[in-house]
C-alpha cells in the first residue's frame, strides 16, 4: 500500500482537525442517515481518552463515534478519490452520507476505500463507528467481560492483557487522495547489493490499474540527479558506485514511477528507498556485511493529551534524544508505529525492529509473572486469523523501508507452553513468504521461556530476550541478578552458537527525583547500578549483538498497585526529561561503534 503523497498527478486533502465525537451508550440505535446527536468534539489524530475531562468517557469500553463534514473541489471530482485512514483503533465501520462504505478490524495498520460513487455536491458527511473492545480473538489480546445494569443495558469491560493503556480513536491521519483513473497501485523495491563491487541491482515490481503504454522508472540520487532509468512493470536497474543506507548515516534514492499513455505522463508516484544488505551469519547480525550492534530502546507511541495519537514533534525530539545518546535503533513495541515515524527513521538512519500487535498471547498475564493460567494459552486464544492479517498488512505497508531490518512476530507470548510451536511455525513461514526483501524474523521471548523451556526458538533468526533479573526477580540483589543474567546468556549461546542474541527489554522502574544513599529499588541510583550490571555481562558474551532497554520514556498503563501514573521504567520521564542514568548510557553508547563491537 502506497503512502499518500502529492505529485504532479495526485492531490492530498487532509481531514485532520476537529471532529464531532460521542460515546455510544447502546440505549438506542444511532441513525447514520442523520448527523450525530452530539456537541462534543475531539481532535484527530489523537486518542480520545485524554482529551476529555469525564472519567466515564476516558474509561469507556465499547463503541464510540466520530464525524466530520468535508467538501471536494469540483476540479477533483473526475479524478479517482480515495479515503484513507492511517489507523482506527481497534475496529471501524465507515459511513459516507449515511451509507456504509468500508470496514476494518485491527488498530495499527492503514485501510482505504474509493468514494466517488458515494459523494454528493456540496458538504459530505463522514461518520465512523469505532470499537476499543479486545478479547481472545484480537491483537492485542484483551480480557473481555460484560454484564447488564438494572435497566438491562449492557456494560462492557476490557481488562488489558498487556502493560499499556488501551488508548483508542483515530490515531493517525485521515486523508482523501486523488489519482487518475489509470493509476500506479503499488511499488515493490528489492535491492541486491554487491558490496565488493560497490554496485546494486534493484528490482522494481510495479502494480498498475488501467492501461498504460509504458511504465517508466527513474532513479534519482539525493541531489535529484538521474542515476538510471528503465521501463516495464517488472524491471531491474543497476546502480554503480552505489551509496549505501547505513545506520545513523542514511542515504536515500528516489524511484520516480510514471505511467505513460499516448506519449503523456498520466500518473506519477515517488518512493524513496535505501540500498543496504541485511543478513544473519555465524552469530552476527550483519548490515552491509559488517557486524552491527543494536543500541537503543523499546518504546511506545505515548504522549500527554494525544495518548497514542501521531505527534510528529515528539517523534523528531525522540530521535534527536536517541542520536545524542549514541543510540541507533528501537523496536516498535508492541504494535506497528505510524508510517510517518517509519519514513522519519528512513531519513535519520534509525534501525527498526518492526513488530506486530501480537502482545498478550499469554493467558493470565500479570505483573507477578506467575503464569497461573498459562498452560491453557494455546487452547483458549483464537488469534490466528488476526495474526495472519496483521502480518500481511504490516509487511505490505513497510516492505520498502530501509530502516526495517527485522520483523518481530510477537511480544512475550507463552512460547514455553505446549502448542506454541504449532501456532507460530505457520506465521513465521507466512512472514518469510511475504517479505520481498527476505529480512530476518524473530519474536520477543518472555522471562519464563528459558533455553530449556522455550519451544519456538528454532524458528527465529535472532534470539530476542526480555529479561528483568534484578527487578521482577532478585529485586534489589544485583549480585545475584548478575549471576542469573550471565548463566542464562551462556546457556543460550551454547544452545544456539550460530544465532545472534540480544536484549529487547531490560529495566527497572525509577521515580524521577528519588535518590537513595543505599541504592534502593525505584531510586535513580539503583537504575544506574542495574544498567551497569547488565552492561558488564553483555560485553562478556561473544554473540550478544544488542541492547534495547525498556523503556525510552515513562508511559501510561492500566490501573494497578504496581503502577503509579503508569510504567516508570523510562530513562526519560513522559515529558522527555532525562533521569540520571542517561549520562551513563550516553557515555557507554557513544563509545560503542555501530559496527565491529563484537569481534
Nearest to 87 by CA among 349, 308, 251: 308
Q: What gap in Å lies between CA 193 and CA 476, rounded to an integer?
A: 48
Beta strands in 337-400 (DSSP E): 351-355
Order across the sheet with 234-240: list the strands.
183-194, 199-209, 234-240
Given the DSSP bridges, would you call strands 501-505 and 544-549 parallel, antiparallel or unpaired? Answer: parallel
Which residue is catalytic, options 91, 339, 505, 524? Answer: 505
Q: Decide: 69 and 95 in contact? Cβ < 8 Å.
A: no
Other residues' Cβ atoms within 10 Å of the Cβ of residue 147? 9
Task: Quote the CA–CA distance of 106 and 537 in Å, as a whole number.
Answer: 39
The CA–CA distances, whole Å, from 91 to 98, 106, 291, 338, 386 equal 18, 6, 41, 17, 12
Please say if 222 is a catalytic residue: no
Annotated catalytic residue within 79, 271, 348, 412: 412
Non-local (6+) Cβ contacts of 312 within 8 A are 340, 344
Give dist(CA 262, CA 297) in Å, integer: 52
What is the C-alpha to C-alpha distance for residues 13 and 178, in angstroms, rounded to an integer? 9
Containing 502, the helix (H) or strand (E) segment is strand 501-505
Instruction: Supply 195's cell numbers.
Output: 558490496
For residue 420, give the nearest of 461, 457, 389 by alpha carbon.
457
Round to whole Å and give the CA distance between 403 and 54: 40
Assigned C-alpha cell, 590: 557513544
Task: Say whether 322 sits in a helix, a strand or coil.
Answer: helix
Backbone angles phi, psi at 102, to 5 degrees: -165, 165
Question: Reduced to 3 states, what is the DSSP secondary structure of residue 317?
Answer: helix
Residues 6+ apart with CB under 8 A from 314: 303, 576
Supply 323's cell numbers: 542520536
Helical ranges in 357-477 per DSSP H: 377-380, 384-398, 420-434
Length in residues, the chain: 599
* Residue appearing with cell numbers 487518475: 180
Clarify whether 547 is annotated catalytic. no
The catalytic site residues sit at: 412, 505
Amino acid at each position: 500500500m502506497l503512502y499518500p503523497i502529492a505529485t504532479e498527478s495526485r492531490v492530498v486533502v487532509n481531514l485532520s482537525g476537529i471532529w464531532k465525537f460521542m460515546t455510544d451508550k447502546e440505549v438506542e440505535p444511532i441513525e447514520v442517515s442523520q448527523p450525530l446527536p452530539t456537541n462534543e468534539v475531539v481532535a484527530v489524530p489523537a486518542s480520545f481518552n485524554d482529551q476529555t475531562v469525564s472519567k466515564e468517557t476516558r474509561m469507556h469500553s465499547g463503541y464510540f463515534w466520530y464525524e466530520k463534514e468535508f467538501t471536494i473541489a469540483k476540479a477533483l471530482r473526475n479524478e479517482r478519490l480515495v479515503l484513507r485512514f492511517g489507523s482506527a483503533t481497534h475496529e471501524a465501520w465507515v459511513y459516507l452520507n449515511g451509507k456504509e462504505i468500508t470496514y476494518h478490524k485491527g488498530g495499527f495498520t492503514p485501510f482505504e476505500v474509493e468514494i466517488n460513487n458515494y459523494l454528493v455536491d456540496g458538504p459530505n458527511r463522514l461518520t465512523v463507528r469505532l470499537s476499543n473492545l479486545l478479547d481472545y480473538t484480537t491483537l492485542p489480546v484483551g480480557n473481555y467481560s460484560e454484564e447488564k445494569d438494572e435497566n438491562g443495558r449492557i456494560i462492557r469491560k476490557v481488562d488489558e492483557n498487556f502493560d499499556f493503556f488501551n488508548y483508542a480513536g483515530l490515531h493517525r491521519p485521515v486523508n482523501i487522495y486523488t489519482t487518475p483513473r489509470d493509476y500506479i497501485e503499488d511499488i515493490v523495491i528489492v535491492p541486491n547489493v554487491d558490496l565488493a563491487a560497490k554496485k546494486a541491482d534493484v528490482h522494481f515490481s510495479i502494480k498498475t490499474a488501467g492501461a498504460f503504454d509504458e511504465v517508466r522508472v527513474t532513479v534519482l540520487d539525493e541531489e535529484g540527479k538521474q542515476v538510471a532509468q528503465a521501463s516495464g512493470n517488472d524491471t531491474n536497474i543497476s546502480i554503480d558506485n552505489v551509496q549505501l543506507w547505513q545506520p545513523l548515516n542514511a542515504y536515500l534514492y528516489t524511484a520516480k514511477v510514471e505511467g505513460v499513455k499516448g506519449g503523456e505522463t498520466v500518473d506519477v508516484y515517488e518512493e524513496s528507498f535505501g540500498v543496504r544488505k541485511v543478513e544473519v551469519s555465524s552469530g552476527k547480525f550483519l548490515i552491509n556485511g559488517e557486524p552491527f550492534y543494536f543500541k537503543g530502546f523499546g518504546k511506545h507511541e505515548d504522549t500527554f493529551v494525544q495518548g497514542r495519537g501521531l505527534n510528529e514533534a515528539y517523534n523528531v525530539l525522540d530521535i534527536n534524544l536517541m542520536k545524542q545518546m549514541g543510540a541507533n535503533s528501537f523496536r516498535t513495541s508492541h504494535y506497528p508505529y505510524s508510517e510517518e515515524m517509519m519514513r522519519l527513521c528512513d531519513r535519520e538512519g534509525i534501525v527498526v525492529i518492526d513488530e506486530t500487535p501480537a502482545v498478550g498471547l499469554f493467558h493470565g498475564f500479570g505483573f507477578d509473572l506467575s503464569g497461573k493460567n498459562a498452560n491453557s494459552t494455546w487452547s483458549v486464544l483464537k488469534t490466528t486469523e488476526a495474526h495472519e492479517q496483521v502480518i500481511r498488512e504490516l509487511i505490505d505497508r513497510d516492505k520498502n523501508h530501509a530502516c526495517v531490518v527485522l520483523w518481530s512476530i510477537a511480544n512475550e507470548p507463552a512460547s514455553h507452553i505446549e502448542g506454541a510451536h504449532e501456532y507460530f511455525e505457520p506465521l513465521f513461514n507466512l512472514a518469510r513468504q511475504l517479505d520481498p526483501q527476505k529480512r530476518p524474523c524473530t519474536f520477543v521471548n518472555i522471562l519464563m521461556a528459558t533455553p530449556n523451556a522455550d519451544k519456538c526458538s528454532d524458528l527465529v533468526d535472532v534470539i530476542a530476550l526480555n529479561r528483568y533479573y534484578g527487578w521482577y526477580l532478585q529485586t534489589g540483589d544485583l549480585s545475584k541478578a548478575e549471576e542469573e543474567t550471565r548463566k542464562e546468556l551462556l546457556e543460550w549461546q551454547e544452545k544456539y552458537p550460530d544465532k545472534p542474541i540480544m536484549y529487547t527489554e531490560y529495566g527497572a522502574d525509577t521515580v524521577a527525583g528519588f535518590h537513595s544513599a543505599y541504592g534502593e529499588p525505584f531510586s535513580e541510583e539503583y537504575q544506574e547500578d542495574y544498567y551497569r550490571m547488565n552492561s558488564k555481562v553483555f560485553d562478556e558474551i561473544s554473540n550478544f549483538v544488542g541492547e534495547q532497554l525498556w523503556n525510552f520514556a515513562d508511559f501510561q498503563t492500566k490501573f494497578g498497585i504496581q503502577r503509579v501514573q503508569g510504567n516508570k521504567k523510562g530513562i526519560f520521564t513522559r515529558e522527555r526529561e532525562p533521569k540520571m542514568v542517561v549520562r551513563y548510557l550516553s557515555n557507554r553508547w557513544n563509545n560503542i561503534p555501530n559496527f565491529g563491537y563484537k569481534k
